[in-house]
């Protein structure tokens, strides 16, 4: 049996590197109001709110940003977010907009635009079906474990998105891991090659101290801004079930030949009896 290599040393060096790159200044809050995602929100009103209320107010906009930024660079995600804000009146309009139209707003050159648009559409619809409104106010009274379980069970949500929202809006010690970060860690020998994003997330959450989680998240985004894998795994290119519904496939000829042909019913011809001619 092949023994797995000990990755603890390399993993600790990478974690410390990312934490140092994203560490905040002394006295600075983990998520200052200047860094809050303000799409579909009024910035002036957010500035007057306490930090906790402002985070809750921007929970769904932060979720939208997370859907745009995983496996993409920050500048492109911010530009896409601005295009969505200009095209939509509010969150409800974005929710009812078909995913294919959202993908068209993002543009054909946006990474995996159709796939992420479909996931975003499903998640917003799932929130509305639960809350009967576009708000996550019900999470305010939940415990941190309950918040994370709520986010994880939303339709269409990814491990990166739920962790980003839980970390920045509800102060949950979650580690956002997208395919890009996972592949980079694998290339550095920090994670096993067969690792999945969920397994990578669980591994890092065990290794990183809760108070350093936000710094690791910011540092990883900063360090990998200009990096992209040469080959994306097939999972990242899965076509959207909303945008590409399964086509009706014709029955294979071999399967059709194997089935016995039904006998064609032949209607019997009516029997006509000629009357004998009567001699006069």
Whether 141 contacts 154, CB under 8 Å: no
The pLDDT tens digits for 30-78 are: 667 767 888 888 888 888 888 888 989 999 999 999 999 999 999 999 9
- The pLDDT score that the predictor gives to residue 245 is 39
- The pLDDT score that the predictor gives to residue 139 is 93
For residues 172 and 142, give the distance between their C-alpha atoms in angstroms, rounded to a whole number: 12
Judged by average pLDDT, the poorest of 78-82, 198-202, 253-257 is 253-257
* Crossing angle (nearest 10°) for helices 197-207 and 179-187: 70
Q: What are the structural domains, with CATH classification, of the chain? A: 8-237 (1.10.340.30)
Q: How far is CA 64 from CA 116, 192, 272, in A?
A: 10, 30, 79
Q: What is the mean pLDDT of residues 152-180?
A: 95
Per-residue pLDDT for 187 more than 60? yes
Q: What are phi and psi of 10, to 5 degrees?
A: -65, -40
The pLDDT tens digits for 75-96 are: 999 999 999 999 999 999 999 9
Lookup: tokens for 229: 């894998």
For the whole model, what pTM was predicted?
0.80
Q: What is the mean pLDDT of residues 199-216?
A: 94
DSSP assigned state of 70: T
């Amino acid at each position: 049996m092949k023994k797995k290599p000990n990755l603890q040393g390399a993993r600790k060096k990478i974690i410390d590197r990312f934490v140092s790159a994203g560490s905040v200044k002394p006295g600075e809050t983990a998520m200052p109001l200047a860094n809050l995602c303000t799409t579909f929100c009024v910035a002036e009103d957010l500035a007057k709110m306490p930090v906790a209320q402002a985070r809750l107010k921007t929970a769904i906009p932060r979720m939208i940003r997370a859907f745009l930024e995983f496996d993409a660079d920050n500048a492109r995600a911010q530009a896409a977010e601005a295009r969505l804000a200009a095209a939509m009146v509010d969150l409800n309009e974005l929710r009812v907009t078909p995913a294919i139209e959202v993908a068209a707003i993002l543009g054909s050159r946006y990474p995996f635009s159709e796939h992420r648009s479909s996931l975003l559409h499903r998640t917003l619809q799932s929130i509305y079906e639960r809350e009967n409104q576009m708000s996550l106010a019900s999470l305010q009274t939940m415990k941190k474990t309950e918040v994370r379980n709520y986010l994880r069970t939303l339709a269409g949500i990814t491990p990166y998105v739920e962790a980003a929202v839980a970390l920045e809006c509800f102060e949950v010690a979650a580690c956002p891991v997208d395919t890009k970060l996972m592949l980079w860690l694998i290339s550095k020998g920090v994670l096993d090659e067969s690792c999945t994003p969920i397994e990578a997330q669980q591994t890092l959450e065990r290794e990183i101290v809760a108070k350093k989680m936000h710094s690791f998240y910011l540092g990883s985004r900063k360090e990998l801004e200009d990096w992209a894998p040469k080959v994306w795994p097939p999972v990242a290119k899965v076509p959207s079930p909303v945008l590409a519904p399964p086509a009706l496939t014709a029955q294979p000829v071999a399967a059709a030949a194997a089935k016995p042909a039904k006998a064609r019913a032949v209607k019997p011809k009516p029997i006509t009896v000629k009357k004998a001619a009567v001699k006069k």
